Amino acid sequence: MKLFEYKTSKRDEMIDITGDIQDWVTQEGYRDGVITLFNMHTTAGITINENADPDVKTDFIRRLDEVYPWDHPKDRHGEGNTAAHLKASTVGTSETVLVKDGKLVIGTWQGIYYCEFDGPRPNRKVYAMFNG
């Protein structure tokens, strides 16, 4: 099992972690199997999405903001971050990625993203486990 830690710099952002995951697979010499990625936070998520056009990330965050506005007048959660909790639940807390011949099995235009919805935060954690 491997712990990845990320520092986020904005309230909402998507950090491409594909390279970190592939580097770990390579360093460990993993060949064929499955990786489970699990995010340890209730206001952040993990997703696989397009990594070719940076506007996809911009649009992704903008559309989530439209669905879950930060300042909804009826939110009752004391911390004031209900929108972040809803975004995280919508995106999800984990992803499963296949590994074949030491390479992540993802599409040509796909990347793995850590999605921050309540930043900035100094220490976000993602656990990865390989089963092969």
The residue type at 42: T
- Delineate the domains of the chain, giving CATH numbers in brackets: 2-131 (2.60.120.460)
pLDDT tens digits for 15-29? 999 999 999 999 999
pLDDT tens digits for 87-125? 999 999 999 999 999 999 999 999 999 999 999 999 999
Share of the chain above pLDDT 90, in %: 92
The burial class, CB within 10 Å (0-12 / 13-18 / 19+), for 25 is buried
Residues 6+ apart with CB under 8 A from 19: none
pLDDT band, residue 40 (cuts 50/70/90): very high
pLDDT score of 75: 73
- Dihedral sign computed on CA atoms, order 11, 14, 19, 23: positive
Helix (H) or strand (E) holding 36: strand 33-39
CA of residue 3 relative to chain centroid, distance: 14
Strand order in the sheet with 103-105: 2-6, 124-131, 33-39, 94-100, 103-105
pTM of the model: 0.94
**Nearest 5°: phi and psi at 89?**
-65, -35
